[in-house]
């Protein structure tokens, strides 16, 4: 019988190079509706993406837009509408 092999001689494969210019071109082609659709789908799946919204503090003119979590802005997706629930 042969002896068991040792796994101490691992060689890293390194990072895979992606074409960054192609990735950036694809991101630039997305419309605003596509971006919001992707954010909404992630939020409905239970993830909590960052959303850019107008700053509620209008006196702060340096930061016209702020980034907040989707649950802060839209609420919890699990507590959305329920079929057959009565509305007040």
Q: How do residues 44-74 score in pLDDT, each as one tens digit?
A: 999 999 999 999 999 998 999 999 999 999 8
Residues 6+ apart with CB under 8 A from 63: 55
Q: How do residues 6-27 score in pLDDT, each as one tens digit?
A: 667 777 787 778 899 999 999 9
pLDDT of residue 78: 87
Q: How do residues 22-39 score in pLDDT, each as one tens digit?
A: 999 999 999 999 999 999
The alpha carbon of 82 is separated from its chain's Cα centroid by a whole number of angstroms, namely 25
């Amino acid at each position: 019988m042969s002896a068991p092999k040792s796994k101490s001689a691992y060689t890293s494969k390194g990072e895979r190079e992606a074409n960054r210019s192609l990735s950036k071109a694809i991101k630039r082609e997305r419309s605003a509706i596509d971006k919001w659709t992707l954010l909404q789908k992630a939020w409905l799946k239970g993830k909590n993406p960052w959303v850019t919204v107008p700053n509620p503090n209008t006196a702060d003119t340096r930061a016209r837009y702020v980034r907040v979590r989707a649950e802060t802005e839209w609420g919890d997706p699990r507590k959305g509408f329920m079929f057959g629930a009565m509305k007040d």
